[in-house]
């Protein structure tokens, strides 16, 4: 739990993702999603928080090992940040498709309109 409280105190990105995720968690139970969709959306949120914690940990270790700029340090930090971006993209895509399905948006007609 110490890691959680440290992240909440020191990491703005973690706090933002946590608060937005709590809102989306509540919204997932308000909307008539299936259990599988709720599980997917909320698991991706927790995966995003875990990726953010790993990103923060990697940045801290890299800064401890080499405070000056180094190509390998940059690569490690960039890859950890990319992992966060990938999970965030997956979360956004799943929420988008879940909401489009809930709103009964006809995606086939939308795509067909632009491919005439």
Active site residues: 52
CB 20 within 8 A of CB 55: no
The rounded distance, in Å, linking the Cα atoms of 101 and 103 is 5
The rounded distance, in Å, linking the Cα atoms of 54 and 25 is 22
């Amino acid at each position: 739990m110490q890691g959680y409280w440290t992240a909440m105190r020191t990491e703005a990105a973690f706090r933002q993702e946590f608060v937005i995720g709590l809102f989306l968690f509540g919204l997932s139970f308000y909307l008539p999603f299936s259990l599988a969709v709720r599980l997917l959306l909320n698991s991706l949120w927790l995966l995003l928080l875990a990726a953010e914690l790993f990103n923060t940990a990697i940045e801290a270790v890299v800064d401890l090992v080499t405070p000056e700029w180094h190509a390998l340090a940059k690569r490690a930090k960039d890859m950890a940040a990319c992992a966060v971006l990938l999970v965030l993209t997956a979360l956004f895509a799943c929420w988008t498709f879940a909401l489009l399905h809930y709103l009964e948006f006809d995606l086939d007609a939308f795509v067909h309109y632009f491919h005439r």
